[in-house]
Structure 1
């Protein structure tokens, strides 16, 4: 039986410049907010684009996503609702910012590039996008034993 954990992911294009200090400040803000909302997940930034995966109660995740979509610093261009999931993938992570080095260390920069490209078109079947995102989520989950940011 599925519990009340809900997951979604999105990509967006930055509408302003994000350097490393600005990204870390954004991540710290998200960590605090996600802790308060009991939401877990991660955020990646590459090629002026964000990819984020969120999980938690449906109400909290959907409400947070609505806020994210209103943020004028970026434009959400695709959103995938995974719906109810069996369990959290990132229990104990309020939010994790993954930089290029971490993505390279687990060999996911090519997959993230594919996801960025694919989520910008309607040519790729949603089921295939979901499968690729799930593969990436499972790979990133392996980082849990490494340095975590909570």
Structure 2
């Protein structure tokens, strides 16, 4: 019997109000717990104004996670960047990799409805954002391989 196909979801959103350290810790802890219970892995980056998240797992589990994410009052203007099949897990073993960054251009991904870039431009922006994710992840792990 084969494993169900993997899917991934990436989105960007703006915070709805300034977040305290305690609230950020609560958000990350909740994501780690939920993802661990649902065999999801992924990464979350917060730059002080915007979230960028990539999560991966079975499609049905991702749907449950996305419902939870959309219901959160911590953020607004949530825009889905990627939602589809992926060949492998990029964050295997990580219920939720979390990093904070200085303002990094994440807010540039947060397009106004009706003002989204073309599909090819969107793919390029998402790909560069995922490279940023992966680089941040590897740096945190002490593994630097930018090839």
Same fold (TM over 0.5): yes
Gap runs ≥5 in structure 1: none
Mapping of 1:1-150 within 5 angstroms?
A: 4-100=5-101, 110=104, 113=105, 115-120=106-111, 121-123=115-117, 125-143=121-139, 145-146=141-142
Q: TM-score, normalised by structure 1?
A: 0.77
Structure with the largest fraction of helix: 1
1:123 partner SS: coil
Q: Summarize the Cα distance change of 1:144–1:132 in structure 2 as closer, same or farther, 3 Å threshold.
A: same
1:17-58 CA distances to partner (integer Å, 9 max, x unpaired)?
212221112111111111001111111111321111111111
- Partner Cα distance (1:25, 1:33) in 2: 12
- Partner Cα distance (1:69, 1:33) in 2: 14
Q: Summarize the Cα distance change of 1:68–1:123 in structure 2 as closer, same or farther, 3 Å threshold.
A: same
- Partner Cα distance (1:129, 1:145) in 2: 24
Question: RMSD of aligned C-alpha atoms?
Answer: 2.3
Aligned residues: 135
Gap runs ≥5 in structure 2: 143-147
1:143 Cα shift?
4.1
